[in-house]
Amino acid sequence: GSEFLQRDFSETYERYHVESLQNMSKQELVKEYLELEKCLSRMEEENNRLRMESKKHGGETADTARVQQLELEVDRL
């Protein structure tokens, strides 16, 4: 049940996202790309900061989980 709903939502969202990108002008696409690059850069900086803090504090589990979450987000982007 919930797996189907999640998959259906993901497919619908993906179609909507593709349509919205197709309707953008070249200038809007470039702007969107630059925003994504900024976001990726901030996430990488946060990831590196958390890794350094984690090493400094002996690898606390909360920081480790946040680092893993950021790594997944970076990979997705």
Q: What is the pLDDT of residues 42-73, one digit of tens each?
A: 999 999 998 888 777 775 566 677 777 878 87
Range of the domain at 22: 1-75
pTM: predicted TM-score of the whole model, two decimal places: 0.57
Q: According to the model, what pLDDT value does residue 10 have?
A: 93
What span, in angstroms and rounded, lies between the C-alpha atoms of 51 and 71?
Answer: 11
Query: How many structural domains compose the chain?
Result: 1
Is 29's pLDDT higher than 90?
A: yes
Residue 66: how many CB atoms within 10 A of its CB? 16
End-to-end CA distance of the chain: 28
**If phi over 0 gives left and psi between -120 and 50 gives alpha, with beta otherwise, what is residue 35?**
alpha
| C-alpha closest to that of 73 among 27, 41, 31 | 41
